[in-house]
Amino acid sequence: MPESTWKKVDEYAVQLLSLSDRTLDAALADSDAGGLPQINVAPNQGKFLEVLAASHRSKRILEIGTLGGYSTIWLARALPPDGQLISLELEEHHAQVARKNIDRAGFATQVEVRVGPAVASLRAMLDAGTERFDFIFIDADKESYPQYLELSLALSRTGTVIVADNVVRDGEVIDPKSKDERVQGVREFLARAAGEARLSGTVVQTVGSKGYDGFAIFLVS
Ligand SMILES: C[S@@+](CC[C@H](N)C(=O)[O-])C[C@H]1O[C@@H](n2cnc3c(N)ncnc32)[C@H](O)[C@@H]1O
């Protein structure tokens, strides 16, 4: 099946199910205008995250990798009025663009974007005794995924759902000799998750407007 068909099916689903709106489109437009890379989740993947978090009744959501706040907005839409989302981002400029997008989406009081290397931000949260999260979305630098898993677990409770994006990487994830450090990061992440007794989960391959990749989804016990 050619890639053009994957894209057409994405477009079909987005149109049929109304998976874009002014707020989301404006977030992408302003991310583009700000020079941010187009590495956000696709609209149908954003909705997938919203449905997952909402069906799980998540009140506290942690996101690792904000970019322009596109997936943040999708996840924030799953929150109840008293819910909270913290999103971690390395780049100050990305965070500035994201905050504007998040404010326009109506989530200024519920969403906080914290700037800095996510590993340091996560350790600071642990040191501060931050309340555990219900739902964690990992979508930052792939080399650090093994550390993100360890720290996410430390910030989880029984019943927390952890989702990680981009774990298939055009299928390269099955190559143990890959010289791509992002592939090795993802492989180590999955190997550690597989060996972690508190985690039960799976890998789901995805195709579409963002190419061939996949999500990992784990439930913490
Ligand atoms: C794939 S993008 C996130 C996309 C976003 N979740 C979305 O779908 O709209 C990855 C983001 O992680 C950020 N990032 C990279 N390394 C990081 C690190 N060490 N700590 C925190 N954020 C990092 C990048 O600057 C980038 O904005």
Give pLDDT tens digits for 35-75.
999 999 999 999 999 999 999 999 999 999 999 999 999 99
- The pTM (predicted TM-score) of the whole model is 0.98
Cα of 144 vs centre of ligand 1, distance in Å, is 11
- Can you tell me which atom of ligand 1 is nearest the CA of 67? 27
3-state DSSP call for residue 145? helix
| Mutation test residue for ligand 1: of 90, 115, 145, 215, the one with most atoms within 8 Å of CB | 90
Contact status, residue 112 vs residue 79, Cβ threshold 8 Å: no
pLDDT-derived band at 1 (thresholds 50, 70, 90) equals: confident
Structure confidence by residue, pLDDT tens digits, 118-140 = 999 999 999 999 999 999 999 99
Residue pair 42/13 in contact (Cβ under 8 Å)? The answer is: no
The domain locations on the chain are 3-220
Instruction: Tell me whether strands 156-165 and 213-220 are parallel, antiparallel or unpaired.
Output: antiparallel
Tens digits of residue pLDDT in 73-109: 999 999 999 999 999 999 999 999 999 999 999 999 9
Residue whose CA is closest, atom 8 of ligand 1?
40
Q: Are 147 and 49 in contact (CB under 8 A)?
A: no
Q: Is the dihedral of CA 122, 153, 73, 43 positive or negative?
A: positive
Tell whether domain 3-220 is in CATH 3.40.50.970.
Answer: no
